[in-house]
A = this chain, B = another copy of it.
Amino acid sequence: MAQQEVTNGSSEKKTGGGNDIMEVIEVKFTALKPQLVVEAPKANEAILFYKAAFGAEELGRTLHPKRKADQELPLILSAQLSLAGSTILVSDLADPSETPAKTEGTGLVFYLETDDVASAINKAVGAGAVVVSEIAEGEGAGCGLSRVGKVKDPYGVVWAIGSPAAKAAVVEA
């Protein structure tokens, strides 16, 4: 967790319109949670998949306040899943017009670290994921992982499953 720095009396702190020197604003963030928004009402199915594929544990869920009468499943506003020490959110996209903003055009992949890459990939495939990159070894496997394979889940998310790299390969910034 980042320390909030005290900047009282700092000469870097500037205000005023028309001043293009950026104001130094100290903000403390307490959590980062990737949120996956799936076509309604598939969030419940997606949660079951993440439990089966990756052993995710559900911490809780908030249901959508407006439930349509003709829907069997209540829509999920947000479910919190614990996975590898992180929290991810899974939500139903109830009305496409409600969330015009989504990440696009960028390559975004979730790296999951494990010492047992082959078993992890087998388990994910058993739960419904498909292999998109076979397990590769060495530097070419990329991204600081010494051994990595990739699967795509039924919701379009790519998971790179790899073992942590040797410490020697990391250059300190």
List chain A positions with a Cβ less than 8 A from chain B. 1-2, 22-23, 25-38, 52, 54-55, 57-63, 65, 77-80, 82-86, 88-89, 91, 93, 98-116, 119-120, 122-123, 126-127, 132-133, 139, 142-144, 150, 152, 155-158, 160, 164-165, 169-173
Contact indicator B85/A107 (Cβ below 8 Å): no
A86 to B34, CA, bound (A): 10
- Chain B residues with CB under 8 A of A52: 22
- Chain B residues with CB under 8 A of A143: 35, 62, 77-78, 89, 91
Copies of this protein in the assembly total 2
Contact indicator A144/B80 (Cβ below 8 Å): yes
Contact indicator A37/B107 (Cβ below 8 Å): yes
- Chain B residues with CB under 8 A of A34: 34, 108-111
Contact indicator B22/A77 (Cβ below 8 Å): no
The 3 closest A-B pairs by CB, nearest first: A37-B107, A29-B84, A106-B156
Contact indicator B85/A30 (Cβ below 8 Å): yes
A58 to B157, CA, bound (A): 26
The residue in chain B whose Cβ has the minimal distance to the Cβ of A99 is B107
- Chain B residues with CB under 8 A of A58: 173
- Chain B residues with CB under 8 A of A112: 29, 31-32
A113 to B122, CA, bound (A): 34
Pick from B103, B127, B152: contact of A158, CB below 8 A.
B103
